[in-house]
Amino acid sequence: MVNLVQRPRRLRTTDSIRRLVRETHVTVDDLLYPMFVTTDDAVTEIASMPGIYRYPVDALLHAVEKAVNAGIHAIMLFGLPASKDELGSEGYALDGIVPTAIEALRRNFDRSLTIVPDVCLCEYTSHGHCGIINHSGAETDVDNDATLKLLARAAITYAQAGADMIAPSDMMDGRVGAIRAALDSSGFKSMPIMAYSAKYASAYYGPFREAADSAPQFGDRRSYQMDPPNRREAIREIALDIEEGADIVMVKPGLAYLDILREARDNFDVPMAVYNVSGEYSMVKAAAANGWIDEDRVINETLTAFKRAGADIILTYHAVEYALRLQ
Ligand code: PBG
Ligand code: ZN
């Protein structure tokens, strides 16, 4: 006869006991909901991301109100401009789509809604790269240092429009420092920066590039986004961003990089964000549409994995549907 002293199963017998000993909880406090705002006058659903839309400003106000009613208190904004050019001018124009949307949101929502514009040029450049192109050298490449000035301009423009936090996603070297300096000298010393620090060159961004119409027209992003096999380099990127003044750092994508997230959490004592990116969302939606998975449980498990791996903030397109289920 077996006589076990230790039986972990004792604490799994009822739902109530399981709740008592549960180690990880994902609440609406943790969620940051990415949204797309467009200069078009129609709301369009993103084909590869069912349930996610590009909103004109007035429709965005309604969608944000719905999200807020569901319990969401923080959103990220991506802009789709009317026109694109070599220098991504609409990305930092005073009357660009993102500052226009921020101003409209600010008129309708107080600071209990946190507005976080993504700062990058790829949605605004005709070539789709995250920085401007230097054609003068032997190789065509993204001009790191020239791009910094434009990113800083975008950050100031969004701050002046009423943003609560700035989130650079371009992966240029030194952009956190450049943006920090520009914000400080423009009267925004208290504006936090959430840096996309360990951002990998990932195929999981595919649906986003359709959503934001931001696919590079030549080449790829491998000269600035990180090489997926690299782990130590992620720690270096995060350390640099913190030195340059990042208040929150991010690992992106999420699921394929949970090891990086855990290691980052163990190495740094700043709030850690993770981006549950478009491709991860699309895969869940596609499998669910086919009846192949239990969607709600898969979403719960996924968000829990991020929290358990060390994330404080989860950027996810599932935010509203998840929040609604918590109500
Ligand atoms: C822009 C940006 C991208 C994402 C966030 N900001 C795309 C990219 O870098 O190609 C990806 C988001 C997603 O896939 O959900 N630099
Ligand atoms: Zn970009």
Task: Judge whether 181 and 151 are in contact, CB under 8 Å.
Answer: no
The number of the ligand nearest the C-alpha atom of 169 reads 1
Q: Which two tokens stand for residue 145?
A: 């240092």
d(Cα 318, Cα 325) in Å, to the nearest integer? Answer: 11
Q: Which residues pair with 196 in a beta bridge?
A: 250
Looking at residue 135, its pLDDT comes to 83
Q: Which two tokens stand for residue 87?
A: 């220098």
Query: Would you say the CB of residue 276 lies under 6 angstroms from ligand 1?
Result: no
Interval between CA 130 and ligand 2 midpoint (Å): 4
Looking at residue 140, its pLDDT comes to 76
Q: What is the 3-state secondary structure (H, E, C) of the chain?
A: CCCCCCCHHHHHCCHHHHHHHCCCCCCHHHEEEEEEEECCCCCEECCCCCCCEEECHHHHHHHHHHHHHHCCCEEEEEEECCCCECCCHHHCCCCCHHHHHHHHHHHHCCCCCEEEEEECCCCCECCCCCCCEECCCCCCEECHHHHHHHHHHHHHHHHHHCCCCEEECCCCCCHHHHHHHHHHHCCCCCCCEEEEEEEECCHHHHHHHHHCCCCCCCCCCCCCCECCCCCHHHHHHHHHHHHHCCCEEEEECCHHHHHHHHHHHHHCCCCEEEEECHHHHHHHHHHHHCCCCCHHHHHHHHHHHHHHHCCCEEEECCHHHHHHHHC
Interval between CA 121 and ligand 1 midpoint (Å): 11
Termini Cα distance of the chain: 48
Nearest CA among 101, 95, 25, 20 for reference residue 60: 101
Nearest CA among 98, 26, 24 for reference residue 60: 98
Nearest CA among 324, 296, 241, 307 for reference residue 273: 307
Predicted confidence (pLDDT) per residue in 32-53, tens digit: 999 999 999 999 999 999 999 9
Q: Which atom of ligand 1 is nearest to the CA of 199?
A: 9
- Residue ranges, the chain, pLDDT below 50: none
Q: Which two tokens stand for residue 154?
A: 């975008």
List, in order, residues 6 or more apart from 315 with CB less than 8 Å away. 32, 33, 34, 76, 250, 273, 274, 275, 276
**Count of alpha carbons within 13 angstroms of residue 200, beta-carbon side:** 26
d(Cα 194, Cα 73) in Å, to the nearest integer? Answer: 16
Tokens 């609409």 sit on residue: 90
Active site residues: 199, 252
Q: Is the pTM of this model over 0.95?
A: yes
CATH topology of domain 26-249: TIM Barrel (3.20.20)
Task: Judge whether 91 and 141 are in contact, CB under 8 Å.
Answer: no
Query: Would you say the CB of residue 208 lies under 6 angstroms from ligand 1?
Result: yes
Interval between CA 15 and ligand 1 midpoint (Å): 39
Q: Which two tokens stand for residue 113?
A: 């809604």
Residues listed for the chain: 327
The number of the ligand nearest the C-alpha atom of 194 reads 1
Q: Which two tokens stand for residue 206?
A: 């595919």
